[in-house]
Amino acid sequence: MSYIGKSVKRIEDKRLVTGKGKYTDDIKIPGLTHAYILRSPYASANILGIDTSAAKSAEGVISVFVGTDIEGIRGVPTGWQVNFKNGDTMKEPAHPLLVTDAVRHVGDAVALVIAETKEQARDAADLIDVDYEVLEAAVDPAEAIKDGAPLVHEDAPNNICFDWELGNPVSEVDAALAKAHHITSLDFINQRLVPNAIEPRSAIGHYEEHNDHYTLYTSTQNPHLTRLLLCAFVLGIPEHKVRVVSFDVGGGFGSKIFHYTEEALVIWASRKINRPIKWTAERSESFLTDAHGRDHVTSAKMGFDKAGKMVALKVDTIANLGAYLSTFAPAVPTWLHGTLLQGLYTTPKIHIDLKAVFTHTNAVDAYRGAGRPEATYLLERLVDLAALEMNMDPAELRRINFIPAFNGVTEPGYQTQVALQYDSGNYHGVLDRALEKVGYKDFRKAQQESLAKGKLLGIGFSTYIEACGIAPSAVVGALGARAGLFESAQVRVQPTGKVSVYTGSHSHGQGHETTFVQVVADKLGIPMEDVDLVHGDSDAVAFGMGTYGSRSLAVGGSAIVKSVEKILEKGAKIAAHKLEASVDDLDYANGKWTVKGTDKSIAFGDVSLTAYVPHDYPQGLEPGLDFASFYDPTNFTYPFGAHIAIVEIDKETGKVTLQRFVAVDDVGNVINPMIVEGQIHGGVAQGIGQAMLEGAVYDESGQLINGSYMDYAMPRADDFPSFEVERTVTPCPHNPLGVKGAGEAGTIGSTPAVVNAVIDALWKAGFKVKDIKMPLTPERVWTAMNN
């Protein structure tokens, strides 16, 4: 039976298309109470007093808590530590569950109201009187680091959390730039985005006094890590007393990786009132409190020699972290961004200098791609712009700078100037295929012809690499991770030969219930119907590091494969005993062990039964057929690809229409092509969303002025053409499945392709603009043509 590589339809769909999914807000528990969180309307203010008396006596109200009620709890921690260049520890201010003395962004949590119904909780919140002393806010990260700017935290001078650098010595980079034939420079902003998973975050805390046990139902990508942080770092509850459950989750895109204050609040308060408590975000709260993404201010220079070969890259970035450090925040602009600045190119000298900055805005953390889209945007904008400036073909400029193909097995990995060693790649392959698919030569002709008719057509390229499945633990530990980044899996064969697979990865749209089952059924040679996946429950699954960074199949899938191998190894011993043969004389295929060269065989189900009814059994072998594994990879995986966008600009209005989008991605081996394509589609849509529509906008006072779907432009179906996606396959050399990861590739690659296409259209029409701020609103494009 062969499942790997087939577009098997998804197992999880039956419940999801019939409305039987079980998302956190769907859960009801007897005695459930409802929470509403009163949030700050100001970006920066001292709290002079809070009067909760009217709220406490309102109908149905059970309790109202404020920050001073939560004594001794410092708040939620961050999971990464990045030090200053001089070795000093980064500034790590407390992120309290409820503020005490001051609010630091609009949406900061001020009071928790718990009532019998959510209506009563909401009504009572209106009765709380908070006396604010409103202060000036630091909002723009580039302004926030200037002397005299308002401080977000007293102990972080100039609002700097840390500074950081990576790459070759800056003197070497400067020297190479000084000798360059041409330098392309670009100052730009990679704007702040709101992740906008369509399911708002939700958490239910349930303390049961009779066994002193807590259950947290929560919409997380990361149940075990949430439990670890909640127990060990926030509330000091013994971990074995807490179960974290995350059944169906309605999208994450990074925003549900993190341990949020609300999760700790409902657990803490549940014990206080001895009843279960549900909190579900309203969309306006999601806008204000789901960790945002991106938000870099960058100045970059790329030097070229006469032939167009890249000689150096120098980058200065200011990364906005918001008011508090979210779980992964320090890692995103550093180890997930600076390390990707080699791109697909052989640039010999690279340096990045970065300042991570606090502002009076919501926290910024990993959002689909996390650091890698920022790196790709930077590189790919520079390359296309350089081609325009040097009057070279952008595809050709890339070709002459690409790292030559290497398979990572017989040819070594590629050591970059920025710490990483790429595993395997064939970068010419994806670009050539994309050019062919888009019909590049014909397009250039059509572009000229349409220009003569007054139509502005443009083509934009992006050839990207990313690093996913971040690992190994020892390396990330050295880089400041406060956790390991392995994954765990358990494969439990039931006596009847049916199989339960327990994974520490978490599926919230990725289709693990199908792909992981494909892998196990394929390796065991049994029908998929005989295998089920269990995830998202810390009581069922031994441990897990969750799903993010496109790591699930590469790391979690590899752990599963390890367990399957252990099953087959032990199963072979049982089979050999039953068949009166030696293990070495057995073949395993199609769900049975066969003695080589004979028709003597025993089925997987019979071996399973024997393992649990060990009457006639190998001596010294333990009964049972159930193996747990932990897999800690030896390297990241490095998917790559080439994305090409074709746009048309309405000259009168500046409106950009995306006519075509071609993506050729290489994510290594593929278990389920249908699901991989779906991941690429979704990723591409989010990347195009950044280029054309999305962007969180704070005004000078720190108000998020587009914090609703009336104002924040979410991409809709009619904003896109049908996507044209294809793949090449360069297997990952260092994991058993040869897979690399597909969740973020689309987002990482697509954004610069679209912006480059608009810039191309404008240059070809004589408007030589270097940059238009994202999102490329019609007005910005029109202004670029009418300056």
Partner 1 sequence: MIPASFEYKKATSVQEAISMLGSEDKILAGGHSLIPAMKLRLNMPTGLVDISKIESLKEIRDNEKSISIGAGVSHATIANNPEISKHMPMISEAASMIGDIQVRNVGTIGGSIAHADPSADWPGVLLASDATVVIANAEGSREVDIDQFFTGFFETALQDNEIITHVRIPKTAANANSCYVKFVQPASRFAIVGCAAAVEKVNGSVKSIRVAFNGVGDNAYRATGIENALKDQKLSAENIGSAASHATDGIDVMDDHFASENYRSHLASVFAKRALSRL
Partner 2 sequence: MSNQITIKVNGKSYTREVEGRTLLASFLREDLSLTGTHIGCDTSGCGACTVLLDGKAVKSCTILAVQADGATVKTIEGMAENGNLHPLQASFKEKHGLQCGFCTPGMIMVASDFLASNPKPNEQEIRESLEGNFCRCTGYHNIVLAIKDAADTMSA
Which listed range, 173-181, 197-205, 443-451, 452-460, lies at the site for partner 2 (CB under 8 A)?
197-205
- 723's contact among partner 2, partner 1, none, with CB below 5 to 8 A by partner kind, is partner 2
Site for partner 2, residues 743 to 772, rule: CB under 8 A: 746
- 653's contact among partner 1, partner 2, none, with CB below 5 to 8 A by partner kind, is partner 1
Q: Smallest gap, in angstroms, from Cβ of residue 285 to partner 1? A: 9
Tell me if 54 contacts partner 1 by CB under 8 A: no
Sign, Cα dihedral of 220, 339, 742, 773: positive
Tell me if 717 contacts partner 2 by CB under 8 A: yes
**Shorter beta-carbon distance to partner 1: residue 123 or 726:** 123
User: Residue 52 and residue 38: Cα distance in Å, rounded?
Assistant: 11
Site for partner 2, residues 480 to 509, rule: CB under 8 A: 508-509
In 438-548, DSSP assigns E strands to 456-465, 487-493, 499-503, 531-534
Q: Of 284, 473, 500, 590, which lies in the binding site for partner 1, with binding defined by CB under 8 A?
A: 284
- 530's contact among partner 1, partner 2, none, with CB below 5 to 8 A by partner kind, is none
Q: Smallest gap, in angstroms, from Cβ of residue 257 to partner 2? A: 15
**Shorter beta-carbon distance to partner 2: residue 17 or 178:** 17
Site map 673..692 versus partner 2, x via CB under 8 A: -xx-xx--xxxxxx------
Write the burial class of residue 4 (CB in 10 Å: 0-12 exposed, 13-18 middle, 19+ buried).
Answer: middle
Tell me if 460 contacts partner 2 by CB under 8 A: no
Residues 6+ away with beta carbon under 8 Å from 732: 408, 423, 424, 554, 637, 638, 668, 669, 738, 739, 740
User: Residue 678 and residue 340: Cα distance in Å, rounded?
Assistant: 25
Tell me if 709 contacts partner 1 by CB under 8 A: yes
Which listed range, 137-145, 171-179, 212-220, 772-780, lies at the site for partner 1 (CB under 8 A)?
772-780
User: Residue 514 and residue 671: Cα distance in Å, rounded?
Assistant: 10
- 685's contact among partner 2, partner 1, none, with CB below 5 to 8 A by partner kind, is partner 2
Other C-beta atoms lying within 10 Å of the C-beta of residue 189 = 17
Q: Of 2, 13, 697, 768, which lies in the binding site for partner 2, with binding defined by CB under 8 A?
A: 13
Tokens encoding 32: 């459930």
Tell me if 782 contacts partner 1 by CB under 8 A: yes
Tell me if 700 contacts partner 1 by CB under 8 A: no
Q: Smallest gap, in angstroms, from Cβ of residue 457 to partner 1? A: 20
DSSP 71-103: TT---PPPSB----TTSPPPP-----SS-SSEE
DSSP 110-154: EEEEEESSHHHHHHHHTT-EEEEEE-----SHHHHTSTTPPPSST
Strands 213-218 and 242-245: parallel
- 13's contact among partner 1, partner 2, none, with CB below 5 to 8 A by partner kind, is partner 2
Q: Of 199, 384, 522, 666, which lies in the binding site for partner 2, with binding defined by CB under 8 A?
A: 199
CA-nearest of 708, 749, 752, 738 to 287 is 708
Q: Give the burial string for 647-666 (b: 16+ CB within 10 Å, else e).
A: bbbebeebbbebebbbbbbb
Q: Smallest gap, in angstroms, from Cβ of residue 459 to partner 2? A: 20
- How many residues bind partner 1, per CB under 8 A? 26
User: Residue 283 and residue 376: Cα distance in Å, rounded?
Assistant: 30
In 396-506, DSSP assigns E strands to 414-415, 421-422, 456-465, 487-493, 499-503
Q: Smallest gap, in angstroms, from Cβ of residue 200 to partner 1? A: 9
Tell me if 530 contacts partner 1 by CB under 8 A: no
Other C-beta atoms lying within 10 Å of the C-beta of residue 538 = 23
SS (H, E, C) 239-256: HHHEEEECCECCCCCCCC
Q: Smallest gap, in angstroms, from Cβ of residue 121 to partner 1? A: 9
Q: Of 25, 69, 108, 123, which lies in the binding site for partner 1, with binding defined by CB under 8 A?
A: 123
Tell me the three state secondary structure of residue 553. Answer: helix
Tell me if 129 contacts partner 1 by CB under 8 A: no
Site for partner 1, residues 544 to 583, rule: CB under 8 A: none
**Shorter beta-carbon distance to partner 2: residue 18 or 86:** 18
Q: Contact 213/270 with Cβ under 8 angstroms?
A: no
User: Residue 603 and residue 595: Cα distance in Å, rounded?
Assistant: 12
Residues written for the chain: 787
Tokens encoding 425: 């790649």
User: Residue 666 and residue 31: Cα distance in Å, rounded?
Assistant: 51
Tell me if 569 contacts partner 2 by CB under 8 A: no
Tell me if 118 contacts partner 1 by CB under 8 A: yes
Tell me if 14 contacts partner 2 by CB under 8 A: yes
Tell me if 126 contacts partner 1 by CB under 8 A: yes
**Shorter beta-carbon distance to partner 1: residue 106 or 397:** 106
Residues that bind partner 1 (CB under 8 A): 118-119, 122-123, 126, 282-284, 652-653, 655, 693, 697, 705-706, 709-714, 777-779, 782-783
The site for partner 2 (CB under 8 A) is made up of 9-10, 12-23, 25-26, 28, 119, 195-200, 248-253, 282-284, 508-511, 674-675, 677-678, 681-686, 708-710, 714-718, 720, 722-723, 746
